[in-house]
Amino acid sequence: MLFLNNDDVKKVLTMKMTMDALEESYLQMIKGEAVCRPNIGLHIPTPDPNKTYIYADMNGGSAASGYFAIRIKNDIRYISEYSGVRTEEKYCIQPGTFCGLIFLFKIDDAEPLALMNDGFLQHMRVGADGGLGVKYMAKEDAEVVGMLGSGGMARSHIDAFRQVRGIKRIQIYSPTKAHREAYAREMKEKFGIETVALDSPEDVCKGADIFADCSDARVPLILGKNLEKGMHLRTVGGGLDEEGFGKIDRWLRFGNATPPRGQEEITDESLAYLTPILAGKELRPHQGNQERLDKLSREGKLIYLKDILNGKEKGRTSPQDITYSERGNLQGAQFHAVAGKVYEAAKKKGIGRELPTEWFLQDIRD
């Protein structure tokens, strides 16, 4: 069994590899060759009433790829407020350290193949999702990106956007001036793209072909009053306000997780199980999106990736369309696809630390 830390993953995982793996995985889901669950979390109170222990996992596998993976997260989470924006903070043991792991297995004989840190792969797979949304929904000549946020997600998204469009300018805002200026310097040096740090979200939005919220905000930062015709929107943080939602002309959803046997599809991105004494104190109040999806469907605005691939629908119907893309709740279909590619590349290059497979086996049947 192979252990791969984030530095190991960085040595082999490229954005193109990530985007190709996700697109292939979505095709396997459409063909019925794969299965996945959405994010499922358990919330438990801690001695600090402002903090909550949250365990979460998502998993999936594919007969076509031959891999199954489970990704787990193990965090203490709490809400903080900075410059009037509520954000969700998290840590494991102490601020600045985190525990996220991916277990990869071989479907043929259930062999445990790899255990890897999820941090870098997580940023890459979320960025790749954004890039696929741009591929199918943004204007062909899109070249200006308005970016909210200056962390890892904001970095991976630019890498993904540039894979599918000729990006020439980035307009960046984040609350901390030093962070947005450092981000601007890095994007210019790394990708050769003109990057300008601005002083407000409103300024970032002006003239943008692609407008992305890659912050960790828990309130909507993409506001309808700021949107312009022809934009493609991407959110990782706080999402859209109601006015912004109402202005969407075309909404792409990559797909839905496999429904439990005999039950209807689940559209929620995350399912939470709360210790009863946490009732009313959930960090992320449940926001089922079925009502929104139903509304979009009634208005003829909702399309799925399978509809584009089989020729039933076009991404955008006009250069003036305001479009939006989301993964849906296919997280479980992502980790086995990307982790499998990472494992293959690491084995080929001799990267990683080998752990005796027998450590993970036993001779007692459950």
The domains spanning 2-122+331-360 and 128-271+288-326 adopt the same CATH topology: no
Domain boundaries, given as residue ranges, for the chain: 2-122+331-360, 128-271+288-326
| Residue among 53, 96, 97 at smallest CA distance from 75 | 53
- Minimum mean pLDDT among 2-11, 79-88, 190-199: which range? 79-88
Please say whether the beta carbons of 273 and 282 come within 8 A: no
**Alpha-carbon torsion, ordered 13, 16, 22, 24, to 10 deg:** -120
Contact 193, 167 (CB under 8 A): yes
Provide, for the chain, the percentages of residues in helix, strand and coil under a 3-state DSSP scheme, each rounded to the nearest 5. Answer: 35, 30, 35
CA distance between the termini of the chain:
22
Q: Which CATH architecture has domain 128-271+288-326?
A: 3-Layer(aba) Sandwich (3.40)
The band of 283, judged by pLDDT with boundaries at 50, 70 and 90, is low
Whole-angstrom distance, CA of residue 323 vs CA of residue 136 = 10
3-state secondary structure 68-98: EEEEEEEEEEEEEEECCEEEEEEEECECCCC
Handedness of CA 258, 264, 269, 271 (dihedral sign): negative
Q: How confident is the model over 67-121, as pLDDT tens digits?
A: 999 999 999 999 888 766 777 899 999 999 999 999 999 999 999 999 999 999 9
Residue 224 to residue 246: CA distance in whole angstroms: 8
The Cα 35–Cα 333 span in angstroms is 7
Question: Does residue 3 surpass a pLDDT of 90?
Answer: yes
The pLDDT, as a whole number, for residue 282 is 62
Q: How many residues does the chain have?
A: 366
CATH class label, 2-122+331-360: alpha beta
Cα separation, 15 vs 81, in Å, equals: 32
Give the least confident one: 190-204, 207-221, 332-346.
207-221
